[in-house]
Amino acid sequence: MKEITAKEVEQAIMQGETPNLIDVREVDEVATGHIPGIIHIPLGLLEFRVQDLNKDEPYIIVCRSGARSSRAAEILEGKGFNVSNMVGGMLSWEGEVQ
């Protein structure tokens, strides 16, 4: 599984890139703060929402600490998606939060 650090994601955003970020935390967790522009799909609903995603696009998966996003990345990789897990999750995020 590919991994990316929170700092690398933040730098990409600061350089004008718009990575496809999927936050797999629960609704109440996302409400406390999330990376602007993120796609929210709780882990429990991911398999039901796969059809909403584009296999031609790379995705970065985010959660609180990196564990759920690792599981989500495994699920999506198994379905043929190009995904990276943001290690450390939101606990490592130092960038802008909405």
Q: Which ranges constitute the DSSP H helices of 6-98? A: 6-14, 27-31, 46-49, 67-78
State both tokens at 20.
């496809």
If you ran DSSP here, which 8-state letter would residue 38 be given? Answer: P
CA distance 67 to 65: 6
Candidate list 63, 72, 73, 86, residue with the active-site label: 63
Query: Is position 20 annotated as part of the catalytic site?
Result: no
Locus of tokens 């130092």: 94
Residues carrying an active site annotation? 63
